[in-house]
Amino acid sequence: MPLHVVGTAVPRLGLAEKVTGAARYTADLKRPGMLYARLLRSPHAHARIVHLDASEALRLPGVHAVLTYRDVPQERIDADLPVLDAVVRFVGDEVAAVAAESEALAEEALRHIRVDYEVLPAVFDAEAALKPAAPAVHPAGNLVGGQWLVVERGNVAQGFAEAARVFEGTFHTQAHAPVGMETRAALAEWQGERLTVWKTSRAVHAMDRPILARVLGLPLEHVRVICPNMGGGFGNKDESRVAVLAALLARRTGRPVRLEYTRAEEFVAGRSRQAAAMHLRIGVRADGAPVAIDMQATMNAGAYVATGMRVTRRVGQGALYLYTCPHARFRGATVYTNRPPGGSFRGLGAPLGHFALEVLIDQIAVALGLDPLEYRLRFHVTAAGQPGQRTTPPHELLPDEPVEGGVPFSSNALRECLLAGAERIGWWQRRQPNGTATGPLRRGLGMAMGLYKGGVGREAEAEVRITPAGRVRVAIGNVDVGQGSATVLAQIAAEALGVPVDHLDMVLADTELTPPAHITAGSSVTLSSGTAVKLAAEEARRHLLEYAAARLRVPQVRLEQGRLLGDGETGLDWRSVVADLPGDLVGTARVTAGSRTHLINAFAAHFAEVEVDVESGRIRVLRYVAAHDSGRIVHPRMAENQVSGGVLQFLSIALREELYLDPRTGVTLNPSFLEHKGTSIVDFPPIEVLFPAPPDPLAPYGAKALGEPPVVPVFATIANAVANATGVWLHQVPFTPQRVLQALRAQGKIPA
């Protein structure tokens, strides 16, 4: 059947209102009588509060409440995160919360809270934190969960025994901050024992509401959480401390309270990317085929883990699955330190692990005298999946993060991506052998590939309601964090119904108005909620067609692009027949996304041309090509925007962005846009986005994940292009001039 809405570029929902400033975000909201909150933060990396006196602050006129660890519920927000605590674990940990008539007053009050600390020994390095004598950040020790995560397919020891050659390398990636343009904020208001919270969130249903109810001792139905508009998620902004503190202050003062992070707070206390140290060994047969891949990663989680645990597992995804290989293992440690807390960030650990994997693969290819593209074309994982035996029982959904063999992919267009990207960048015509360029400015071509799951295993619900007013109300509990999921879900609903998108009213991210939903994370919304909304819309459509047929006294009707078509009928507007509906026509659906027979993954191959200034160490990215298999593309322009935005975001991380932590004190030295250097509008190269893949047979309308896959191969693509230009592979992100010059000098490429 031809598609009318899916695959077209309808205007992004809400974009015009965002441009004109009419769209309100959490920090734009005000309630009558609202107070402003600010937080007092620890100046020490690790300390115990021995004395705390807020009486002077409370005496200031206009200051209404101060909360400390003594005033808050004992119930924890996360397993390792109290509401407030007598022990602070990083520079910037929350010590007290103040509500006052103005922000300036609340800030003034912070200066009048007296705190005496007993400073405790602190540890900032993950390897050091694993040593027995290291200071314990949490009582149960610094290894989160008490053990290493180990996943294995086959037997790597056996694999290495079969290998003709073994290659290895150590790789590092930095801590940096996601920092969406909007800082974290929450506004809390009580009506009796009922609480309403507006919040920057990715999971009003799955996280904020249950956490608020549990911590505050409220029945779930007394808590309403709304995320009005999100100013950037990037896998971040899910923890609930900001909402819990606003709610407690509001309860204490009897007035609505708004708490908003400053930019510096967002850098320090927002959840950052964990620094990673990775060691990778790859054994290959005489023909170069990988026979054993073994990766070990130590993740510096900082003071609290929250959703950060999921990051570690994903570091291994590439090593376990990107190349056809009988024996593969990933071991990961997630380690508490006194750094600012890490969390989930776009791509989770996948871009980090893919960096190590795809750089070492490049080194192997060159060592074996193979072209890096040729190597990948020969050995990348195919639609058949990995060799070996399926371990998931046949009736169960296949896992999101596979390790087992014997399971095919629903679709896998890695080959098409590799060929399309290579063609576009001119790989065969333009690439010179590594390190043969001369002169101060040296150019090179590099590439890397990646895979990413998205949505499998998530439960999703949707409700589609056709009203007598001639509108369709689509309710989904997910948050559109800015990536455009509201638009994509509207397209799927409109397609399934047979009406134009502008007949729809999308309702998202309000626990009172929408059915439960999972977190907007893991590039999951299109697959999970997309499936749910398609089923719900199809049910609503059946109801509508039955009603219309009865009403028009015809045996049956069809609905296409908003027109009812049937025997003899020629294009009656569907809205003209529903005015007398006694009530809404409702379709609902609840699904668990995934498959019992196939893995559903997205794939990508990236190519870049860079220029390295070997005198000053500066890398310029001249051109970038990103070829993606995300199945069918629901909205071509938004998809292109999503890919180029993701690539640019990670080019900036590849070259510059890093949180600088003073190694003596644990103070974050650059908590600002000025010094944590993101991409600016003059920094970006032309980015060409290709979608050479066919629709996926199992995904809704064939559409697979797209939010995170674009960021996965970026680091390795640049590192490999730099190696082509200079002959030197960089093993540490970011690739700063300092590191480039050091590496060139160490390998004798420039005078000592």
Partner 1 sequence: MAQRIPITLHVNGHPQALSVEPRTTLLEVLREQLDLTGAKRACDRGECGACTVLVDGQPMFACHVLAVQVREREVTTVEGLARRADFQPLLEAFVAHDAGQCGYCLPGFAVAAYALLRRLPRPDAWQIRWELVGHICRCNAYEKLVAAVQDAGRRLHPEPEDP
Partner 2 sequence: MRPFRFVEPTSLAEAVRCLQAEPGKARLLAGGSDLLAELKDELVAYDCLVSLAKVPELTRFEVTERGLYLGAMVTLAQLEHDPRLHGPYRLLAEAARGVAVPEIRAQGTLGGNLCQRPRCFYYRQALTPCLKKGGPDCPARESPYQQYLVLMGGAGCYSAHPSDLAPALIALDAEVDLVGPSGARSLPLERFFIGPEVDVQRETALAPDEILTAVRVPLLPSGWRGTYLKARERTAGDFAVVSVAAGYALECGTVVQPRLVLGGVAPVPWRSRQAEALLAGQAPTPEAARRCAEAALAAAQPLPHNAYKVDIARALIARTILALAG
**Binding residues for partner 2, per CB under 8 A?**
43, 91, 104, 108, 440, 613, 615-618, 656, 660, 662-665, 667-670, 674-675, 677, 680, 682-683, 736-738, 741-742
Piece of 8-16, 77-85, 452-460, 600-608 that binds partner 1 (CB under 8 A) = 8-16
731 Cα distance to chain centroid = 24
- Cβ closer to partner 2: 306 or 741? 741
454: which 2 tokens? 């998205």
In the block, residue with structure tokens 């909620």: 529
- Min. distance of Cβ 482 from partner 1 in angstroms? 3
Q: Which of 23, 60, 377, 586 binds partner 1 (CB under 8 A)?
A: 23
670 binds, among partner 2, partner 1, none (CB under 5 to 8 A by kind): partner 2
Q: Residues with Cβ < 8 Å from 606, sequence gap 6 or more?
A: 421, 447, 448, 449, 450, 624, 625, 626, 627, 647, 713, 714, 717
In this complex, which beta carbon is closest to partner 1, that of residue 133 or of residue 682?
682
- Among partner 1, partner 2, none, what does residue 414 contact (CB within 5–8 Å per kind)? none
The interface mask with partner 1, positions 61-100, x = CB under 8 A, is ----------------------------------------
Structure tokens belonging to residue 289 = 């085929």
If one asks whether residue 256 binds partner 1 (CB under 8 A), the answer comes out as no
Binding mask of the shown chain, residues 652 to 691, with x at each position contacting partner 1 by CB under 8 A:
x-------------------xxx---xxxxx-x--x----
Q: Measured from the CB of residue 720, what is the shortest distance to partner 2 in angstroms?
A: 22
* Cβ closest to partner 2, residue 579 vs residue 674: 674
Length of the chain: 752
Minimum Å gap between C-beta 298 and partner 2 is 19
- Most distant CA atoms of the chain, gap in Å: 89
Q: Which is nearer to partner 1, 301 or 504 (CB)?
A: 504
Residue 186 interaction partner, one of partner 1, partner 2, none, beta carbon < 5-8 Å per kind: none
For residue 440, the surrounding DSSP H or E stretch is none
Task: Measure Cα distances from 320 to 167, 292, 479, 531 in Å.
Answer: 16, 10, 31, 28
Judged by beta carbon distances under 5 to 8 A according to partner kind, the member of partner 2, partner 1, none in contact with residue 467 is none
Beginning with the edge strand found earlier in the chain, give each strand of the sheet holding 572-573 in spatial order. Answer: 557-560, 563-566, 572-573
Beta bridge partners of 715: none
Which of 483, 491, 528, 726 is in the footprint of partner 1 by CB under 8 A? 483
Q: How far is the CB of 644 from partner 1 (least distance, A)?
A: 6
Q: How far apart are CA 533 and CA 550, in angstroms?
A: 26
Q: Find residue 39's DSSP bridge partners.
A: 97
Residue 638 binding partner 1, by CB under 8 A: yes
Sign of CA dihedral 419, 424, 428, 433: negative
* Minimum distance, C-beta of residue 617 to partner 2, in the bound complex (Å): 6
Q: Which of 15, 50, 140, 384 binds partner 1 (CB under 8 A)?
A: 15
Per CB under 8 A, the list member of 290, 444, 446, 645 interacting with partner 1 is: 645
Selection from partner 2, partner 1, none that 646 binds (CB < 5 to 8 A by kind) is partner 1
Smallest distance, Å, CB 66 to partner 2? 19
Residue 734, preceding bond cis, omega within 30 degrees? yes
Q: Which of 273, 261, 388 is nearest to 321 (CA)?
A: 388
* Shortest reach from residue 443's CB to partner 1, in Å: 22
Residue 43 interacting partner from partner 2, partner 1, none (CB closer than 5 to 8 Å by kind): partner 2
Strands 290-302 and 114-119, sheet pairing: unpaired
Measured in whole angstroms, how far is the alpha carbon of residue 573 from the centre of its chain? 41
- Binder to partner 1 among 234, 336, 345, 379 (CB under 8 A)? 234
Q: CB of 609: closest distance to partner 1 in angstroms? A: 17
Taking the mean position of all CA atoms in its chain, how far away is CA 367? Answer: 35
Cβ distance to partner 2 smaller for residue 138 or 739: 739
Three-class SS state of 245 = helix
- DSSP string covering 349-413: THHHHHHHHHHHHHHHHHHTT--HHHHHHHHB--TT--SS---S-TTSPPPSS---SS--BS---
Of 561-590, binders to partner 1 (CB under 8 A) are none
The Cα–Cα gap between 330 and 315 comes to 8
Q: In b/e form, how buried is each residue of 301-334, taking b as 16+ CB within 10 angstroms?
A: bbbbbbbbbbbbbbbbbbbbbbbbbbbbbbbbbb
Site for partner 1, rule CB under 8 A: 9, 11-12, 14-16, 18-25, 27-28, 30, 102-104, 178-183, 229-234, 260, 262-263, 481-484, 637-638, 641-642, 644-649, 652, 672-674, 678-682, 684, 687
